Each structure stands twice: as C-alpha cells, then as structure tokens.
Structure 1
C-alpha cells in the first residue's frame, strides 16, 4: 500500500516566522522569496548585510534582513533574541549558508579544513542549538531544514573537505530528527545537486594569481551551465515540500538522486563511478582545477 504523506502541524500554521541563513543570493534568496510569497514572516540573514537587504526588498514588507556570521554563536544568540523580541520564536529554521573548498586532500591545509567546518558544520550546530532550544522551550510545532548536497554521498577527489562537511551536515539532520520528534519538531535534509547559481562568479583561488582565478571562473561557469539540473527555485520548492510533509531526506535533482541511489544500492560502484576523471567536480571545470590549478580553490556563497 502506498503511504500518503500527511501535512505536518507546522505546515498548517497560517503565518510563520522563518529564519534563513545565507539568504543574500542563490538558494537562500529563492527560499526567502518563496516563504515570503506564502505569507510567512521571513528573517533573511547573511554575512553580507547589503545582499540580505536586497533579498528583503525583493520579497516585500514581511522579509527582514539581519547580519549573521553563522560561525559566531554570539551573533546567533543576538539575532535569535532580536527576532523573538520583535516577532516570535522562529517556527522554521533553514540552515543554508555554506562554502566549498576545492583541491586534493594532500593539497589542502588544516586551516582550509577548519574554515569549511566552521561554516558548513559548526554554523549548523550553532543555529540548531540556539534556535532549536528556543523552539523546544516554546512547546509548539516547528521545523528545521538543513541544506546539504548530493556531495554528502559522493567520494570526492577534488573537494574532499566539502563532501566531508556535507556528510556531517546530513548526519546532524538525521540525528536531530530523532531527538526532536517527541517535541513535534521536524528536521529535513534537502540535498541539491549541481544548481544554477552565481557560484562561479564568486570562485576564488586560495593560492593562485588573478589570471588563474579568472580562467577557472570562466571554465567553471561553462561547466556549471552545462551540467546544472536545478535552479535555486527548484531547491526552494523542495524545501517547502520537506516542511509540508515532514520529509527526512529530499534529493532535489537528477544528479543528487543518482548519487543517493548509487550510495544506497552499491557503495563500491559509487566509488568506482567517482574515480572517473571526467566526473571531477562537474566535468570540464574539474579538469581545469586538477590540471591547471593544483592549489586549493575556494568557492564562496551559493554553494548547496
């Protein structure tokens, strides 16, 4: 018998307070716009306040911009306190902020790993602990969304720190889901694959000259356009679906779904598949990174 998903309690609430991190562009902006259009009060946070303010302007009167560096628990506490004082305890938290660091394992430094973990892992930990504890104390239905990635299931030769951070984010979501279920708070991991964002325009070489950076950006943008199967709005719709039906894991597009299926059915085949050189970081861009840019590469903003 096919199981028909039931609408979660928080989805039935008419007007919710939704806090989104990394809302200044890309996926975070799309989520903010969709939630505002649905009638929610949206708290658009970003490390770039001007970008968050632009999102708020696009979304309308019920979207409010806040400066938030997700690495800083004090900023999390300040923003949470201000939101509660002005509006209410957030009903929904969307952990979207993240970065990626490209480069082989032996090329990346410990500092590179610490940087990505501070945002992609501890940024989620801070948000879930600070906002999640207020949700529990409020005693009302709620939902936490973690934007993960198909990379969570993908052994990665070019960005191992990124895949590792996303695997950790996935397990945070799954573990927290079991812990918060008795409190009527759902937790979902939404996992996009390659998504059409401004990622390439913001790519920066950690070590490398400006010419190498521009060459990489051009090649990565071309590959991103060729291999992208999703738009930010597709991810935003997946977030709404995850909240509405309290879904545990939501692969968004073809490549993420393929990675999920291969990982579950045959991890060995997945490792073989990921060892093919042409699969490195969306094909053409990955070959540029591996052959012409041996140093580590940092991708800032809009990275799922």
Structure 2
C-alpha cells in the first residue's frame, strides 16, 4: 500500500517507540494523530515536526483505559482527517514484581492499559477503517514478552501474550476488507518505559508488588540506555506494514530464545499416533486459516 497522505492514529505517539513510529510514518508522507498524556513530551514532539517543516499532527490527550474519551478521540480523528487508515495501539506500561504477591489492582491496572487499551482502540477504529473501503492497517505493539516469560514480569507478560493472541486472530478477520494486521514485538529499546511504576494511578494504589525503590528502578532503567533507537524500531514497523507481515520482529538477538521455545514445544508433544478424526479436524482448521489469510471470510461451518 502507498502510505502517502494516508492517515494514522498512534496511541502514546509523543515519546519512545510511539514517537519513533510517528517519525517514520511522517517521513513516508503520512498524516498523523497522536495521543499523549504528558504535556512536556507533547511539546517536544510538536517541536520536532515544526523543525522538520512537517504538517503538525493532531494531538489528543487520552488515557487509553477511558472508553468514553477513546470514542470521542476516534470521532475527532475522523472529523479532522475525513478518513483514518492506520491504527497503532502502542501505549502501555512496564511494571514488574513477584506475580504470586500481586493484587487485583496490579492486574486491573497493567491488563487494563496493555490489553484493554488495545481493545478500546480496536472497537473504536475498526468500524471507521472498514467504512471507507480503502483498506488500511492495524499495528498492535506488544513486546518480546509476548513470547518470552520471566519471574518478575508475570502480569506484563500475560498482557503481551493476550495482545499476541488477539492480533493473530484479528489478522484473519480483517483480511477480507484489505486491512492488514501486524503484531510488533520489540526487544530492549532506548525509552523511558522502565519508570511506569513511578506513575501508578491513585485508583490502583493497592499493590502487592512491593514498594517502589526509585534507586533500584533507575539502575534497572540504565539497561534501557543500551537499547535500540526508537526511530529504528519505527522504520522496521513501517517496512513490516508495507510488506503486510503478520509478525514484525525488530531485534535480531532473540534467535536463541525462539530456538529454545521451539525445541521445548516439540519435546512436549506426546510421541504417539493421533486418531483419524482428530487429524481431519486439525487439517480443516489449517485449511480454514490459510483461506482466511488469503482474504476469504471463514465461518464455523468451515471448521468441521
């Protein structure tokens, strides 16, 4: 798809990976609407566009968990640009701690932003992208945590696994409408994502993850200085979108992890024959998935 003059809405688009994607999109000639929460980040982003002589984005203040405000934002984007072609669900929080001690507030906050924020974007923007019939693209930014788990990132990992599953299925649903869907799983990136715990909303204050040790958190954040430039991530997202790739991986260093996951998965399969009936059902499922990926609408009847 030619992205020139196409419109894109990016949540959390004024800093970090979101801003990296926004700059890549702007270089490709796209028109932008960017959501933000931090006024300082918004001003910095606005200055970049002005300094580059680019069309100013439409900046929209948004908490992605606020469904009523999300609906208003979607209408504002459509009203301003006429049509919306690309949705990038990028906003998220990175919060870590022992999962076995987590409270409801921990689950509700992290899942509410990282998964619920994506849901709110999809519910509000998919009908608008479908309506104009010109096709488009949806990008859900997850993390390598969508594949790799760890002892301090249980809820964060759960949210990213959920985004991964939702995105992979949604790709089948939207193919008939010429709307591509991509899952982006960045690795370590030079952003301030590590400080999310310092910005915990008051309504989710009851945490079992322990008191935030600012010095310890800042030491952890130092690792992010070694991360990939967000603009490089943005360039790779744009390239993956243009190639309509379902999975966009940005960091090459995770080969050993995927090899380990594959080998462990294959080793876990029982070494025994499966009955013909079950084999036929799985054959039909694979066939239906291939048909859906090619643009055919698949119903339940296609699975049996």
- Contact map agreement 1:49 1:65 (CA 8 A) in 2: no
| Cα drift, residue 77 of structure 1 | 1.1
Q: 2:139 aligns with which of 140, 145, 170?
A: 145
Per the alignment, in what secondary structure is the counterpart of residue 58 of structure 2?
A: strand
Q: Which residue pairs with 1:294 in the alignment? A: none
Q: CA–CA distance in 1 between the matches of 2:22 and 2:67?
A: 22
3-state DSSP of counterpart to 1:266: helix
Count, aligned residues: 256
Is 1:98 equivalent to 2:97 in the alignment?
A: no
1:47 paired residue number = 37
**Counterpart position of 2:19:** 29
Residue of structure 2 in register with 1:216 after alignment: 216
Secondary structure in 2 matching 1:90: coil
1:197 aligns with 2:187: no
Deviation at 1:100, TM superposition (A): 2.0
Q: Structure 1 residues 257 and 134 mapped into 2: Cα distance closer, same or farther (>3 Å)? A: farther
Do the aligned residues in 2 keep the contact of 1:44 with 1:55 (CA within 8 Å)? no
Structure 1: which 5+ runs fail to align? 1-10, 270-304
Partner of 2:262: 264
How many angstroms apart in 2 are the aligned matches of 1:263 and 1:18?
34
TM, length-normalised to structure 1: 0.77
- Structure 1 position 267, deviation (Å): 4.0
Q: Is the Cα contact below 8 Å between 1:145 and 1:188 reproduced in 2?
A: yes
Question: Which of the two has higher C-alpha Rg?
Answer: 2
* Whole-Å separation in 1 of the counterparts to 2:3 and 2:225: 38
1:92–1:142 Cα contact (<8 Å) kept = yes
1:17 to 7, 12, 17: 7
Separation (CA, whole Å) in 1 of partners of 2:195 and 2:94: 14
Cα displacement (A) at 1:208:
6.0
Q: SS of the counterpart of 2:217?
A: helix
Compute the RMSD of aligned alpha carbons: 2.3
1:128-167 → structure 2 map (5 Å cutoff): 128-167=122-161
Aligned-partner Cα distance in 1 for 2:61–2:254: 31
Match of 2:121 in 1: 127
Change (3 A) 1:53 1:158: same
SS in structure 1 at match of 2:99: coil
Q: Confirm or deny: 8 A CA contact 1:191 1:252 kept in the other structure.
A: yes
Within-5 A mapping of 1:175-186: 175-186=169-180
Q: CA offsets per residue over residues 93-139 of structure 1, 9 Å max, x none? A: 11100012211111211210111111111110110111011111221
- Where 1:194 maps in the other structure, the secondary structure is coil
TM-superposed CA distance for 1:67, in Å, is 0.7
Q: Unaligned regions of 5+ residues in structure 2, if any?
A: 201-206, 268-304
Query: Structure 1 residues 171 and 201, CA, compared in 2 at 3 Å: closer, same or farther?
Result: closer
Cα drift, residue 255 of structure 1: 3.9
Q: CA deviation at 1:150?
A: 0.6
Q: Name the residue aligned to 1:280.
A: none
| Distance across 2 between alignment mates of 1:146 and 1:126 | 12
